[in-house]
Amino acid sequence: MTEEGALTAKEIIGYSERLLNAVKSELPPQAQVSDVRFEGPFIVVYCKNPEILIYYDELVKNIARKYKLRVIIRTDESVRKPEIEAEEVIYKIIPSDAGISLKPFFNPLTGQVFIKAKKPGLAIGKDGSLRKRILLETGWEPVIKRLPPVNSSIVDYVQEFDRIYYSYISKFLQKVGERIYRTYVLKKNKVRVTVLGSGLEVGGNAFLIETKESKVLIDAGMRLSSEEFFPYFDFLDSTLIDDLDAVVVTHAHLDHVGLVPYLYKYGYRGPVYCTEPTRYLSVLILRDYVKTAVSQGLLTPYSMSDIDEFIKHCITLDYDKVYDIAPDMRLTLYNAGHILGSALVHLHIAEGIHNIVFASDFRFSNTRLLDAATNVFPRVETIFMEATYGGEKDIHPPRHVAENQLVGLIKHAIRNRSKILIPSFAVGRAQELMITLWHIFVELKLVEPIDVYIAGMISEATNVHLACPSFLSRRIQHMILSKDSNPFLAEFFIPVDSPESIPEIANRPQPAIIISTNGMIQGGPILDFLRYMSEDPNNMLVFVSYQAPGTLGRQIQRGAQIVRLVSAEGTRELHIKMAVHSIKGFSGHSDHSELIKFVSEMQPNKPKRVVLIHGDPPKIYELAKKLSTLKFEVLTPGNGDAISLV
């Protein structure tokens, strides 16, 4: 090393090649290694002897620990049987009692075959005996999971990309890996974060992290409450698209992922990192956004093909594992407790010169759907933290209080044979409501169940939840996987299959609950339900989530009695005569006290600096004042502000 902290020319040449050879040398000759290469944040070792996947698991862990890398062992393509032959072997090995009703899915990208069984234990066999047989006899590594009660079309759609674009994705991953493990020239570094969105506002999340080596974008979301829905992308250098090492998406809400396809429209071909559920749910809401906008005669900033590019370039990561995403950045995702697969982002920069956490949307307490966000990180100097409910008066009521309010409205609806219309985000809030209603009707038996209609893309979002049960709360996981009891499948949940059925549902004389997208009444079937129900004072409109300024939901929540609906057919007035209620407590965001508790009790050390984002200005300033009294350095940047951290 030179005094300036740069690598010498000799150190630079052959760095990545030496790293690959070092990993290869750790494996025994009987592994029959055919190739070692970078694939995204992983070093992948291909072997012609499938036994390496069975008997050398500890060796692989030791290699990963020694080199501080994510190492994956896969079978070489040459030893994998053709899919048709391998499928026949699988059906011969696994007993019919295991209940394999879906065709196994072969992923040539990973060398894995995904087998879904009603009784996965029977498919795996005692001590994994059947799983081992499948691997040895087919060359494909079996991944055996419980058969979901309802198949998810969006999961199937996304997974098929790995098969269709296998060759392209394989080459793409190698390019990403080579870029990640390019020689790290500068050891003395700088860290700067530019706030492109959600500075003194809710929505439009986008943060650019820059060092002398790399550039990473955290989220690329829409500004839902503004006339201009783009973040401050015009603050960026014109070469950013080519210079970006990665995009990290925290979760699948439009104000965080809504403009990722826009990046691909304008030439970005790098990776997007997120959790597995976020990949599925993002595709679901992005496609729905385009379809809804087109149906209303609106222009969209990207097309379906741009969403497909996002799918092809998306790399899913697990919680609590460290991944290299740039020469001088290591990424770890942690549970955020906000929606399924939502993540807190921890970045370890330049061998520890600075550690940043992005806690954009999170809930630091258990809900019926998800476990609380974690606040235990290896090290944190700076945290970017949301202030959606940062105001001193923003205190969520205890859970039982919110649920009792809902019970009271349900009893009123039953007595008056009226209906409750609940606008809801399809992802997260809707499933939380479903679990809560199941709890009220089935576990507590506080009222007799009434029909609960599920409209919009809520049903498909729920199917994704069923496909990824390991991301749900431990309690719900136990019910689904061990007790074979699934709250989402209760008979009183009725999907609304077509828009044509909306008038009939809205005008039925029986009491009912309707949970419908869009959560802020900006589009989707909620507008149709509102058209048919708003002028009946017997009906109720119940808000259970944040309504951003400028949205139709905010107008009605604030008391507007006449609102205008704009559609492809034109503009029409709607008279709001139905009762309007708001219930706090179902939010996926932390309130004022939880936000303070989250950062004050962070382990093993508290951050020195708190940067408040994702909140209306008064709420951000009130939270900043409180945190300052607790001896935190607090920053409240606006959009376009750049913060030098080192």
pLDDT, position 13: 47
Residue 429 in this model has a pLDDT that exceeds 60: yes
**pLDDT confidence of 10, banded at 50, 70, 90?**
very low
pLDDT at position 5: 44
80-147 matches 9-78 in CATH topology: yes
Spatial distance between the Cα atoms of 264 and 244, rounded to a whole number of angstroms: 12
Q: What is the predicted pLDDT for the residue at 225? A: 65
Q: Which of residues 172 and 524 earns the better pLDDT score? A: 172
Assigned CATH for 80-147: 3.30.300.20
Specify whether domain 401-582 bears CATH 3.40.50.10890: yes
Q: What is the pLDDT of residue 299?
A: 87
Instruction: Name the range with the highest mean pLDDT among 7-11, 144-148, 296-300, 446-450.
Output: 446-450
C-alpha dist (Å) from residue 489 to 152, 452, 630: 14, 12, 46
Average pLDDT over residues 48-76: 89
d(CA 278, CA 293): 22
Per-residue pLDDT band for 171 (boundaries 50, 70, 90) equals very high
pLDDT of residue 298: 82
Q: Is the pLDDT of residue 4 over 50?
A: no
Q: What does the alpha-carbon distance between residue 88 and residue 93 come to, in Å, rounded to a whole number?
A: 9
Is pLDDT larger for residue 183 or for residue 375?
375
Residue 545 confidence (pLDDT): 86
Residue written as token pair 């385009």: 290
Distance of CA 368 to the CA centre of its chain: 18
CATH number for the domain whose boundaries are 164-181+189-393+589-644: 3.60.15.10
pLDDT, average across residues 120-139: 95
Which ranges of 316-457 would DSSP assign to H, the alpha helix?
Answer: 399-416, 429-438
Mean pLDDT of 574-603: 94
| pLDDT tens digits along 142-151 | 999 988 888 8
How far, CA to CA in Å, does 218 sit from each of 243, 345, 346, 385, 498? 15, 9, 11, 13, 37
Residue 305: Cβ within 10 Å count: 10
pLDDT in tens, 248-264: 999 999 999 999 999 99
pLDDT of residue 241: 81
The per-residue pLDDT of the chain, averaged, comes to 91
Tens digit of pLDDT for each residue in 608-625? 999 999 999 999 999 999
Element (H, E) at 314: strand 314-316
What is the distance between the alpha carbons of residues 612 and 86, in angstroms, rounded to a whole number? Answer: 54
Q: What is the mean pLDDT of residues 350-367?
A: 94
For the domain bounded by 9-78, which CATH number is listed? 3.30.300.230
Name the pLDDT band for 644 (thresholds 50, 70, 90): very high
Q: Does residue 422 contact residue 516 with C-beta atoms inside 8 Å? A: yes
Report the C-alpha gap between 486 and 426 in whole angstroms.
19
pLDDT confidence tier of residue 518, bands split at 50, 70 and 90: confident
pLDDT band at 238 (very low <50, low <70, confident <90, very high): low
Omega of the bond prior to 62 within 30 degrees of 0, cis? no
Residue 640 vs residue 56, higher pLDDT? 640
Q: Which residue has the higher pLDDT, 20 or 319?
A: 319
- Would the pLDDT of 566 be above 50? yes
- What's the CA gap between 384 and 370, in Å, rounded? 22
Distance from the first to the final alpha carbon of the chain: 22
Percent of the residues in the chain that have a pLDDT greater than 90, as a whole number: 75
Residue closest to 296 by CA, chosen among 555, 515, 558, 552 = 552
pLDDT in the model for residue 290: 93
Q: Is the pLDDT of residue 444 over 60?
A: yes
pLDDT value at residue 1? 37
The answer to whether residue 2 scores a pLDDT higher than 70 is no
Domain spans of the chain? 9-78, 80-147, 164-181+189-393+589-644, 401-582
User: 555-560 contacts: CB < 8 A, separation 24 or more?
Assistant: 556/521, 556/580, 557/582
Q: DSSP letter at 498?
A: -
- 292 or 512, higher pLDDT: 512
**Nearest-angstrom CA–CA distance, 188 and 367:** 43
Q: Which region, left, alpha or beta, applies to residue 297 given φ > 0 means left and ψ of -120 to 50 means alpha? A: left
The pLDDT score that the predictor gives to residue 186 is 61
Whether 531 contacts 499, CB under 8 Å: no
pLDDT, one tens digit per residue, over 208-223 is 999 988 999 999 999 8
pLDDT of residue 6: 47
Q: By mean pLDDT, which of 442-456, 469-483, 554-568 is the weakest? A: 554-568
